[in-house]
Structure 1
Amino acid sequence: MRRENYNDLLAFIAVARERSFTRASAQLGVSQSALSHTIRSLESRLGLRLLTRTTRSVAPTEAGERLLLTVAPRFEEIESELAAVTEFRDKPAGTIRITATDYATKTILWPRLSKVLRKYPEIKVEIMTDYGLSDIVAERYDIGVRTGDQVAKDMIAVRIAPDMRMAIVGSPGYLAERELPRKPQDLTAHNCINLRLPTLGGFYPWELKKGSRAVQARVEGQFAFNGTYQMLDAALSGYGLAYVPADLVQAHVAAGRLVRVLEDWCPTFPGLHAYYANRREFSRAMTVVIDALRYRPEDTKP
């Protein structure tokens, strides 16, 4: 049966259930003559009489009864599923997939989402740790998290953090045995902890800047990791210098567990942004998640 004839089946179901063309036509919002013509056309195509009509009543034939019992439940299932889908529009529900670095996840995503999502048990969130700058459209992510300068121009970006200052740190024990670096070139004499990037299989160059002078320092050392917190742990253990977000090491520096070096060469990057593709349909779940992550300067004030 052609798809456009499904409406004929719905018309038959209405008449068979109501046992009346009058009531069925009122339910469907069509005239009795049009409804009668629809049923006759359906019977003609099937080559079967589906309804027995008298001046007083309408009843399904044996074939009509079988069709009613088998087809009607399937249409009810379809209607039920369509109703369930529309709930995604009416209430926050569904799965939101996010790709972010471990630093963004631990310092921003988890603290903010964990406070909000208890109110929305129908929202599911998947957070994948990734330093590969994934294509969120190709990889079917709903949201990506990057610094503002890394967000593609065709994406919609929402700031979720203030500008990010970087820091180069080492433990007092490690630095006690070596001369402090005064310029980026001095890093060649140091054991530096690298960040391995999945893109091109290389290490992340330390992006340093002083005034108008910019340097991408390619450092070497005994350890390399694919996560910020492992690099921090290695630095705390005295294995060398690490290049990490300054807010991550602030408490360690204040407590004397780490020492900052080359401070005048450590740049400030545009803050982290949550970004997503420009879609016409924007689910309530996405609205809840984006609003929870949105940066509000007043939230950081004491």
Structure 2
Amino acid sequence: MDPRRFSDLVVFHRVAAARSFTAAAQSLGVTQSAVSQTVKRLETELGLRLLSRSTRSLAPTAAGERLLDTLSPVIAEVDAEIEDLEKLREQPGGRLRVTCGKHAADTLVWPAFSRLLSCHPEIEGELCVENRHVDIVAERFDIGIRLREDLEMDMVAVPVGPDMRAIVVVAPDYLEGHPAPRIPRDLSSHRLICYRNAGGVLSPWTFEKDDQVETVKISPAVIVNDAAALVEAACAGMGFAYMLEDLAAPALKSGRLVEVLADWNPPFAGYHAFYSSRRQPTRAFTLFLDYLRREGKRASADCLGSAR
């Protein structure tokens, strides 16, 4: 339909329902002349007279009544839907679709997501957990959570999680028969356990110290595509593994793993929430972002407490 035709029909509906050009013009915020010209144009295009006019009254013709009967429920439904949508700005409700990877879900997103839905059961929540890059616009997600370095340039991104570290760990038994590496390149002479991401790529081993960045050329002895398997392979003494510090934390605490090259692994920016636009966010979206930030602050406080 021609967009102008739709607006003309709305004007006709307002005139026919009110039985007055003046009242319709006032409700629409336009002049009476503009309303009259719109109705005349519509009648000319349809080749039908829609309104009977006299100096004292106005009423729909038979064709006008038929058109009015068709338009009234449609316009009422559209008005009601717009009213409901406008409420989403102020009141939580509607659907919220979130995407993230497994690690982000376990450490940050699920606690925030579950608290949001517990406090606001009127929100229809969907959480999709998968370790691949998701086009949130094409796949119609409201928000995603990912590391900053993995985000597209056209996305709005805000930090929501604490800083993170990637570390190299190994089982103490392995070190009994092999010298511990002093610098990253020493790793090339050892057995390495590598992680293959959802894109089929081996995660790089990158180190930094005193503004010097070094990437180790990987010749894996073992390859896994699961974080838990990565930890267990290292604990089993299969070689050195490179992983997020929080994944290794329980095994480090129990002594099943030890860290090496600690001074080559500074913290980096953690998870970011990303979305396509800052304009007109729903109340559910805003609340979820707030819950994510709170969960991120709690996680940061826990990290500081553990460090002490």
The reply to whether residue 223 of structure 1 matches residue 222 of structure 2 is: yes
The letter of the residue matching 1:296 is K
2:112, 2:288 within 8 Å by CA — same for their partners in 1?
no
Secondary structure of residue in 2 paired with 1:15: helix
1:8, 1:39 within 8 Å by CA — same for their partners in 2?
yes
2:162, 2:297 within 8 Å by CA — same for their partners in 1?
no
What is the CA-CA distance between 1:176 and the residue it aligns to?
6.7
* CA deviations over 1:113-172 (Å, ceiling 9, x no partner): 32233223425344443366x6767877643421x5666777654333333233322344
The letter of the residue matching 1:102 is K
- CA RMSD after TM alignment: 3.7
TM-score computed with the length of structure 2 as normaliser: 0.75
2:193, 2:223 within 8 Å by CA — same for their partners in 1?
yes
**Whole-angstrom CA distance in 2 between matches of 1:36 and 1:240:** 84
The reply to whether residue 102 of structure 1 matches residue 102 of structure 2 is: yes
Identity %: 32
* CA deviations over 1:200-238 (Å, ceiling 9, x no partner): x54223223455664322344443123433311322344
Q: Which residue in the other structure is 2:61 paired with?
A: 61
The reply to whether residue 47 of structure 1 matches residue 44 of structure 2 is: no
Number of aligned residues = 296
What is the CA-CA distance between 1:85 and the residue it aligns to?
3.5
2:52, 2:61 within 8 Å by CA — same for their partners in 1?
yes
Q: Which residue in the other structure is 1:203 paired with?
A: 202
1:151, 1:275 within 8 Å by CA — same for their partners in 2?
no
1:143, 1:276 within 8 Å by CA — same for their partners in 2?
yes
**Whole-angstrom CA distance in 2 between matches of 1:9 and 1:215:** 68
**Whole-angstrom CA distance in 2 between matches of 1:265 and 1:252:** 20
**Which moves more between the two structures, 156-165 or 27-36?**
27-36
Where do 1:3-82 residues align within 5 Å?
3-21=3-21, 23-29=23-29, 35-53=35-53, 57-82=57-82
**Whole-angstrom CA distance in 1 between matches of 2:253 and 2:243:** 16
**Which moves more between the two structures, 25-34 or 69-78?**
25-34
**Whole-angstrom CA distance in 1 between matches of 2:193 and 2:109:** 26
2:160, 2:273 within 8 Å by CA — same for their partners in 1?
no
What is the CA-CA distance between 1:283 and the residue it aligns to?
0.8
Q: Which residue in the other structure is 1:119 paired with?
A: 119
**Which moves more between the two structures, 26-35 or 63-72?**
26-35
What is the CA-CA distance between 1:65 and the residue it aligns to?
1.7
What is the CA-CA distance between 1:45 and the residue it aligns to?
3.2
Where do 1:168-183 residues align within 5 Å?
168-172=168-172, 174-175=173-174, 178-183=177-182
What is the CA-CA distance between 1:63 and the residue it aligns to?
1.3
User: Given the superposition, is the C-alpha separation of residues 65 and 193 from structure 1 closer, same or farther in structure 2, using an over 3 Å criterion?
Assistant: same
The letter of the residue matching 1:77 is E
1:167, 1:260 within 8 Å by CA — same for their partners in 2?
no
**Whole-angstrom CA distance in 2 between matches of 1:14 and 1:138:** 38
Q: Which residue in the other structure is 1:262 paired with?
A: 260
Secondary structure of residue in 2 paired with 1:116: helix
**Whole-angstrom CA distance in 2 between matches of 1:131 and 1:40:** 57
Q: Which residue in the other structure is 2:292 paired with?
A: 293
**Whole-angstrom CA distance in 2 between matches of 1:209 and 1:23:** 73
Secondary structure of residue in 2 paired with 1:296: helix
Q: Which residue in the other structure is 2:279 paired with?
A: 281
Q: Which runs of 5+ in 2 are unaligned?
A: none
**Whole-angstrom CA distance in 1 between matches of 2:216 and 2:9:** 71
What is the CA-CA distance between 1:267 and the residue it aligns to?
0.4
TM-score computed with the length of structure 1 as normaliser: 0.76
2:137, 2:276 within 8 Å by CA — same for their partners in 1?
no
